[in-house]
Amino acid sequence: MQLNRRDFIKLAGYGASLGLVATGLPGCVTATKPKMGRVVIVGGGYAGATAAKYLRMWSLGAIEVVVVEANQQFVSCPLSNLVLGGSKSIDDLTFGYDVLKANHGIQWVHDEVTAIDTTAKKVSMRRGELHYDRLIIAPGVDFIYDELPMLQSPEAQQQIPHAWKAGWQTVNLRKQLEAMPDGGVFVMSVPKAPYRCPPGPYERAAQVAYYFKNHKPKSKIVVLDANAEITSKKGLFTKVFNEMYAGLIDYRPNSTVVDVDVATKTVKTEFESVSADVLNIIPPQRAGKPAQMAGLNNIDKRWCEVDFLTYESKLAANVHVIGDAISAALPKSAHMATNQAKICANAVVQLMAGLPLDAAPVFANTCYSYVTNQSAMHVAHVYRYDEVKKVMVPADGGGVSLNPSEQEGSNASAWAQNIWADTLT
Amino acid sequence: MIIYADTAKTKSPNTPSQVTTEPIARHVHTRSLAASCAACHGTNGNSSGNAAKLAGMDSTYFVAQMQAFKSGERASTVMHRHVKGLNPQEISDLAEYFSAQVPSKQTALPSQKLSRSAHN
C-alpha cells in the first residue's frame, strides 16, 4: 500500500514540520489557527490531562483542545495512601494546571458538565456550552450508594470518609487515625472488583499498619473484602500482612458490607457485625457522571464499552472514553489511564488527518505499591492489541516483585515524579 | 527525522511522488509505545529522578542495554519484564525514536497547597 502525493501533503500539512515530530519539542504551540478541528475533553485527571497534552504535541498544534474540569487542582491518588501512613502530606500530591496549559496551548474551562448531546456534538456546562468535532470523556469513577444510602451525604462522609479520591477526605481519614487511641480498631472495606486501583486497598491496609506499628502498636486493622481473595499482588500482600505486620491486620475475604450505622461506626456483613473506632468504606464504583450523561455506561450499567484501537465508544460516534470509566480487562490505574490517553490521542490525530491508525497498539504498564514509608513492590506488564480478540492482552514476561524493597521504593518515587511531570507540564 | 530519511533513501527514482506507508505506520506505532515509557522515563525520555534519561541516548547503546536486560546480564527490577513483551523491530524503533529526542531539563512541577474549596 502506498500513500499518494495528496495524502503526503495532507500529512505534511498537519505535521507542519515533520522534523518536529521526531524531536518532539515540548511546548511547540503554533500561532496559527488550528486547522484540524476541535477536541473537547471532559475531565482533567491523569487520563484527560495526558490526552490534552499529547493531542497538542502530536498534532503540532493543529488540533484545538479544550478541557472542561470542575476542580481547580489536580490531587494525585497514587501515593495518597502514604498520607495515611504519615510519610507524605496532601500538599506533596497537589498541583495546578497552569504549566500544562501554557506549555501546550490548551484551553481550559473550569466548570461542571451538566449535559452531553452526542447527536448535536455539544457539551453543556453550568456557565455555557461547547461544540466539538470529537469528544474525549475522561470522567474517572462515580460511587454507587444504592446499597449504602446512609453514606451518601457529606455529613456521613465527614464521619466515614471513602478517601478514594485524593483530597480533603484523605486528610480527614489521616486525622481520625491520629486521634484514635492506641488499642483502637480501624476497619476498612474493599468493594467487589472492578474498582479504581486494584492493589490500592491492600496498600492502604499496609500503610495504616506501618503507622500503627510505629505509633500505636496495640491497635488492629480489619479488612472486609467483598472479593474472595486479594485482587492484586496477592502473594506479596499476603506475605506483608502475615510477616511484616503480623498480628496487626485481620484480613477477611468474602465480606461484603450490607449495612452501616454511621453514628456508632458499626458495619454489618452477611455474617457478622464489626465495630470500628475509625471506619473507611470504599464504595462500589461505576463510570463517572459525564459518561452516564452521555449514556455510554452500557456494561452492567457501570462501565463504557470502547474500541481498543481508538477508545471510541461503541455507542456514540466521535466520542471517546478513557481511564477508569471503561470496561476492560485492564487494571484501573493511573499509568493505564495515561496509556489509554496516548493511544486515544494518537488515533484521534490520525483520524482527524484522514490517515491510517496504528493497527496494533502496544503499551507498558508499571504499578507500585508502598508497604512502608520507603519500601515498594511492583506489578509490570506490556499489553499488546490482539487482532483476533480485539482487546489488549498481557504479553509474555510480565509479573510482580519477589519482595518489597527500598530500591523499588526509590523507583516508585521516580515513577511518581515522572508521571506527574508527563501529565502536568 | 529518521522515518523520512529512510523513505528518501528507499523510494524509487521513477516514482518521486510516492512514499511507502510502512515507515509512517511504524512511526505512529512507536510514538505511542515510546510515550508509555514516560511514567518512569519522562516525556520523550526526559527523565527526572533515577530512571535512565532516554532522550538522545545512542541507539546502539539502547539496543544493547535492552538485550542485556532480557538475558539478565544487566540486573533490573522491572525492565527485564518490559523488554520481553516487545519484538526486535519495536526495540530497534524505540532506540531510533529516543536517540532522535532532544535532551532537556524537566519543567519544575506546579506544586500547590490543597485549596480549602477543593472537592473530595
**What pLDDT, on a 0 to 100 scale, did the predictor assign at position A25?**
37
Contacts of A403 (CB under 8 A, 6+ apart): A236, A239, A377
Is B110 within 8 Å of A97 when comparing Cβ atoms? yes
- Put simply, the answer to whether B21 touches A356 (Cβ < 8 Å) is yes
**pTM of the predicted protein model:** 0.91
Q: At what angle do helices B22-35 and B88-99 cross, to 10 degrees?
A: 80
What three-state secondary structure class fits A366?
strand
Which of A26, A407, A418 is the closest to B40 by Cβ? A418
pLDDT at B21: 64
Q: Which of A21, A73, A357 comes nearest B112 by C-beta?
A: A73
Residues with Cβ within 8 Å of A133's Cβ and at least 6 positions away in sequence, in order, are A37, A38, A39, A121, A318, A352
**Residue A84 in 3-state DSSP?**
helix
The ipTM of this complex is 0.89
Of A5, A357, A417, the CB nearest to B48: A417
* CB contacts, 8 Å: B77 with chain A: 378, 401, 405, 407-408, 411
CA-nearest of A301, A307, A391 to A344 is: A307
Cα Dmax for chain B: 68
pLDDT of amino acid A19 = 31
Least CB–CB distance from A421: residue in B18, B106, B120:
B106
> In the prediction, which pLDDT does A5 show?
39
CA distance B62 to chain A (A): 17
Q: Are A400 and A233 in contact (CB under 8 A)?
A: yes
Taking each helix axis as running N to C, give the angle between helix B2-10 and helix B22-35, from 0 to 180 degrees, rounded to the nearest 10: 160
CA distance B116 to A74: 14
Closest-CA distance, A417 to chain B, in angstroms, reads: 7
Q: Cβ B49–A398 below 8 Å, yes or no?
A: no
Instruction: Report whether A200 contacts A81 (CB < 8 A).
Output: yes
Q: Where are the alpha helices (DSSP H) in A216-323?
A: 234-239, 289-293
Q: Please give, rounded to a whole number of angstroms, the shortest distance from the CA of B77 to a CA of chain A.
A: 7
Which of B77, B108, B109 is facing A411, going by the closest CB pair? B77
> What is the per-residue pLDDT for A228?
98
Helices (H), A78-199: 81-85, 98-104, 154-159, 168-179
The partner residue sitting opposite B120, judged by closest CB among A19, A166, A384, is A166
Amino acid at A338: T
Q: Which amino acid is at A347?
A: A
Show residues of chain A in contact with B89, CB under 8 Å: none
Looking at residue A111, what DSSP letter applies?
-
Q: Which of B3, B39, B100 sits opposite A419 (nearest CB)?
A: B39
The CA distance from A330 to B74, in Å, is 29
Q: Which residue of A has its CA nearest to B5?
A: A19
Burial B58-68 (b: 16+ CB within 10 A, else e): ebeebbebbeb
Residues in B touching A92 (Cβ below 8 Å): 111
Q: What is the dihedral of CA A199, A203, A204, A207, to 10 degrees?
A: 180
Q: Regarding beta strands A2-3 and B19-20, do their DSSP bridges make them parallel or antiparallel, or are they unpaired?
A: antiparallel
Are residues A354 and A168 in contact, defined by beta-carbon separation less than 8 angstroms? no
Task: Tell me if A335 and B39 make a contact (CB, 8 A cut-off).
Answer: yes
Establish if B8 touches chain A: CB-CB under 8 angstroms.
Answer: no
**Cα–Cα distance, A210 to A198 (Å, whole number):** 20
Please answer yes or no on whether A91 and B85 come within 8 Å at the CB atom. no
Residue ranges in chain A modelled with pLDDT below 50: 1-31
Pairwise CA distance, residues A74 & B118, whole Å: 10
Is there a contact between A371 and A210 (Cβ–Cβ < 8 Å)? yes
What is the structure's pLDDT at B50?
79
B contacts of A97 (beta carbons < 8 Å): 110
Q: What's residue A33's pLDDT? A: 55
Rg (CA), chain A: 22
Task: Assess B75–A contact: CB distance below 8 Å, yes or no.
Answer: no
Write down the pLDDT at residue B117: 81
**Best residue in B6, B53, B78, B93 to probe A by mutation, most A CBs within 10 Å?**
B78
Q: Any idea what DSSP says for residue A191?
A: P
pLDDT 10s digits, A197-206: 999 999 999 9
The set of residues, in sequence order, having a beta carbon less than 8 Å from that of A152 and lying 6+ positions away, is A145
Which whole-number Å values give the CA distances from B9 to A1, A5, A182, B4, B13, in the listed order? 18, 17, 73, 9, 10
Indicate yes or no: CB of B36 within 8 angstroms of CB of A4: no
Question: If DSSP states are collapsed to H, E and C, what string results for chain B?
Answer: CHHHHHHHHHCCCCCCCCEECHHHHHHHHHHHHHHCCHHHHCHHHCCCCCCCCCCCCCHHHHHHHHHHHHHCCCCCCCHHHHHHCCCHHHHHHHHHHHHCCCCCCCCCCCECCCCCCCCC
Closest CA to A141 of A425, A398, A293, A332: A332
pLDDT tens-place values along chain B, 120 residues long: 333 333 333 333 333 334 456 788 899 999 999 999 999 999 999 998 778 999 999 999 999 999 999 999 999 999 999 999 999 999 999 999 999 999 998 889 999 999 988 777
What is residue A218's predicted lDDT score, i.e. its pLDDT? 98
Query: Which residues face A365 on adjacent strands?
Result: A381
CB atoms within 10 A of CB B113: 11
In this structure, how many other beta carbons lie within 10 angstroms of the beta carbon of residue A158?
12
Q: Compute the distance between CA of residue B35 and CA of residue B84 in angstroms, rounded to an integer.
A: 18
